[in-house]
Structure 1
Amino acid sequence: MNLLDRNSNAAILLAGICALIVGVGAARFAFTSLLPSMLADTLTLTFSGVLASVNYLGYLSGSIVSIVIKTNHSKVRLFRIGTVLCVLTTFILATTTHEVVWLVSRVIAGFGSAMALVVGSAIVMSKLNMTDKTKAMGIHFSGIGFSILITDLLSRLVFWVGGTWAQAWLAIAIVVALMTCYSIYILTFDDSKNQKSTATAIDMRMFTGFVLILIFAYFTEGLGMVVQGTFLPDIVNSLEGLQGFGGYAWTLVGVAGIPSCILWMRAAHKYGSINIIVVTMGLQVVGLLIPVITNNVYFNLLAGILFGGTFIALVALFMTLGGKLAGDKPVVLMGAITTAYGIGQVAGPLYSVALTDYFGSYNAALLLTATMVSLGAVLMFMNRNVLVER
């Protein structure tokens, strides 16, 4: 097994995982891990919600761009630009607290995150040398779990030696800079493939009724993901008697997320992607409702496990299903469904901070989010027989 061989499946998957740690860990979830510390020192809850939303606004713009990427050469170029932007914007958060600079950097980081996740995953799917890529893509998307766990552990290590949240950002930036170099080296196409690459035309016939339901369901999942993905540590810390447990809940998100993609993708291979999507969305609803119902420490740690064990797998399930439905143009439908996901991610933090400021707790935001995710799951369940998976 040569991990420097650009055509090795093992190298492709490792590079894809590294790209997700860069684009999803550093450019997105490190913010959640460090949020309690930054709230105590620098940020307000309202501004943190704005930062989360503009991050996903950048992610949304990147998703839209990914739909119209025409050649393999363009995919590789934008993937490289995106991952480098993720690294640079992480360094920025380590060196300044200027609010305007933070706002701009979070938008740019969001764009880079989309290039790493959407375009990077499309490159991985295209490069893998196997007939059925479902299980392999489960391994690839486990990188989202690793992205949470690795950035969280790096942050904890910095705090353990007496460092600050700014120094934690710096440590994360250095580590992901090294990972970026490897991903850029492996995730490219050889010259012959670039020369044969043709424009990716957007065939509107792929947007069938079921695909539109798929897109809407992924929008609701964007809401389900972003509320806990942005505020879970603070949600747990805000419950009576649970101050300080939010960080443990977030660590469990990453731990649960690592095997979740592999396990759920295997289940999808056996029982069908639609059925497994419905089940995982249902479990996510349970996790959303736990902090509303109880302040029991074990149940709220379970909420972290349910969140990590579902949302990462749902990214893999939706993205892989979209790629399969799109045939030889996976980036088009992947980009379309991710755009809907991104819209949900922009809206979620905004209504969450508004409802939380108004009611004085996260309960209303969690209830609204659970309702929307339930609606997406019900629509998928009602139309599960429409699709014959390819």
Structure 2
Amino acid sequence: MGFGRFSYTPILPGMMAGLDLSPSDAGVIASANFIGYLAGAVLAGYGWAAGHERRLGLLALAATAVLLLAMGLSSSLMVFSVIRFLAGLASAFAMIFLSGIVLGRGLRAGAVHVQSIHFGGVGIGIAVSSLMVWLLAQANTSGLSSWRADWFAGALMAAAGLCVVALLLPKGDVAQQGRTVEKPLLWTRPLVVMTLTYGMFGFGYVITATFLVTMARQGAADQTIEFLAWLLTGLSAALSVVLWRLAVPRFGAVGVYLIGLLVEAAGLVATVCLPLPVAPLIGGMLLGLTFIMITAYGLQIGRGLAPDSPRKALAFMTAAFGVGQIIGPLVAGALAERTGSFTIPTLMAALVLLLCALITGLEMKRIVTALDGQRSR
């Protein structure tokens, strides 16, 4: 999933240069991916997949590899958008169906490390994709269509990952339990607040997550800074859930979620306010340290608020997240094209994250009380 969702970011500058894509064009392609993610999240919330989660999750990962390959075969904005839409659909299915299996198995086994490893995998994919793009750039002597080679290499990496997942993913009782039809989702005030703030977070994080490497290239003398910025993002993301888990005994899951929003907002400000080449490095590190963790704990809190309908809660929260992701690149691309930089859209995203943190802080007591009530049932 790290390749399927986020390798677009390090490959994007090469595509923009090679195909003369504008920031608005890049935003359209990114938003198409997130529209697909939203559609997949909504579809996954219904009961049609019960008992087939494993098979559908593996098919989604296989589709991800094929669609990465397809990106290197086109030069059309429309085709790119369709491919990324389908890739977003596959990402949502993989996220919801496979997370349900893995996190459910970990919960029943009492293995607290499962969530950290599971979500940390996305960060590893980000870091490896950055290294892959940089190494291919160093090896490319002709300078022609290097971005196509990036997509082809990403497809091979995703296919290799699929083989490993197919061997390791549990069978049997997990699929059997998936046949239990969930109860209708009960929309309590805490769950509404978490879904709303999770959607706002989708808008806040996605602008930097989409355009960080492009911003780094605008002010860098060579590709080293953009490579390091996205590599730091991935490595920080891989470690983030493990590191933040150390703070949970002190602040609780909701408190860590709130602090993460504040730290990420600070990282966005740093991305456009600090001098080059420090800005993208600090911004990337703070983005990586927070966005996977916020995703993980946001979904964990949502599941805890709806223990009778965990998959539906995951689906609706992911859908809200998807709406924020769709709007973010469109707004950022249009503003960047008009103003000539990503400063204004990035600061706007930071303000959204601050508002998100404010709402969470005001409702924190109710959310914690509701979680405690569900645990005591």
Q: So what's the TM-score if we normalise by structure 2? A: 0.90
Letter in structure 1 aligned against 2:3: A
Bigger CA drift: 183-192 or 260-269? 183-192
The letter of the residue matching 1:217 is: T
Which residue pairs with 2:128 in the alignment? Answer: 150
1:202 has 2:184 as partner: yes
Q: Quote the residue 2:243 is aligned against.
A: 263
Which is further off, 132-141 or 363-372? 132-141
Determine the structure 1 residue equivalent to 2:56.
Answer: 78
- Structure 1 segment 135-214 matched on structure 2, within 5 A: 135-162=113-140, 164-190=146-172, 194=176, 197-203=179-185, 205=186, 207-214=187-194
Deviates more, 1:103-112 or 1:42-51: 42-51
| Other-structure match for 1:226 | 206
Conserved 8 A contact 2:53-2:97: yes
Maintained 8 Å contact 2:131/2:227: no
Match of 2:328 in 1: 348
Distance change >3 Å, CA 157–CA 293, structure 1 → 2: closer
Partner of 1:29: 6
Which whole-Å CA distance do the structure 2 matches of 1:335 and 1:78 have between them?
A: 15
2:37 aligned to 48, 59, 66, which one? Answer: 59
Which residue identity lines up with residue 40 of structure 1 in the other structure?
A
Which residue matches 1:321?
301
Q: Are residues 271 and 135 of structure 1, via their aligned partners in 2, closer, same or farther at CA, if it must alter by over 3 Å? A: farther
CA distance in 2, matches of 1:128, 1:316: 14
CA contact (8 A) 1:70 1:198 kept: no
Paired amino acid for 1:30: S
Check if 1:123 corresponds to 2:101.
Answer: yes
Structure 2 CA distance for partners of 1:286 and 1:129, relative to 1, 3 Å: closer
Alignment partner of 2:360: what SS?
A: helix
Alignment partners' CA distance in 1, 2:135 and 2:86: 27
Distance in structure 2 (CA, Å) of the matches to 1:242 and 1:277: 37
Question: 1:293 Cα shift?
Answer: 2.2
TM normalised by structure 1 equals 0.87
Contact 2:34-2:88 at 8 Å conserved across structures: yes
Match of residue 361 from structure 2: 381
Deviation at 1:138, TM superposition (A): 1.7
Cα shift at 1:323: 2.1
**Paired amino acid for 2:17:** A
Change (3 A) 1:365 1:242: farther
TM-superposed CA distance for 1:111, in Å, is: 0.4
Deviation at 1:197, TM superposition (A): 2.2
Determine the C-alpha separation between the residues in 1 that align with 2:318 and 2:276: 35
Conserved 8 A contact 1:90-1:170: yes
**Post-superposition offset of 1:77:** 3.0
Q: Give the superposed CA RMSD.
A: 2.1
- For 1:192 and 1:288, locate their aligned partners in 2 and report how far apart those are by CA, in whole Å: 40
One-letter amino acid of the structure 2 residue matched with residue 168 of structure 1:
D
The answer on whether the counterparts of 2:232 and 2:288 sit within 8 Å (CA) in structure 1 is yes
Post-superposition offset of 1:369 = 0.8
* Post-superposition CA distance 1:31-75 (Å, at most 9, x none): 101111111111332211100000000000011112113554232
Offset, 1:294? 2.8
Deviates more, 1:92-101 or 1:193-202: 193-202
Tell me how far 1:85 sits from its aligned partner.
1.2
Q: How far has the Cα of 1:228 moved from its partner?
A: 0.6
Secondary structure of residue in 2 paired with 1:73: coil
Q: Does structure 1 residue 38 correspond to structure 2 residue 15?
A: yes
Partner Cα distance (2:57, 2:320) in 1: 20
Q: Residue 194 of structure 1 aligns to a residue in which SS?
A: helix
Unmatched 5+ residue regions in structure 2? none
Secondary structure, aligned partner of 1:252: helix
- Kindly tell me: are residues 234 and 129 of structure 1, through their superposed partners in 2, closer, same or farther at Cα, counting changes over 3 Å? closer
The AA in structure 2 aligned to 1:128 is G
1:57–1:284 CA distance, 2 compared to 1 (3 A)? same
2:81 is the counterpart of 1:90: no
Deviations 1:291-338 (A, max 9, x none): 332324224411111011111111111112222222253211111111
The letter for the 1-side match of 2:245 is M
- Residues 137 and 87 (structure 1), Cα distance of their counterparts in 2 relative to 1, 3 Å cut: same
Of the three residues 280, 292, 312, the one matched with 2:260 is: 280
Kindly provide the CA deviation profile for residues 156-196 of structure 1, in whole angstroms up to 9, marking residues without a partner as x. 22222217221121111112112112223433431685288
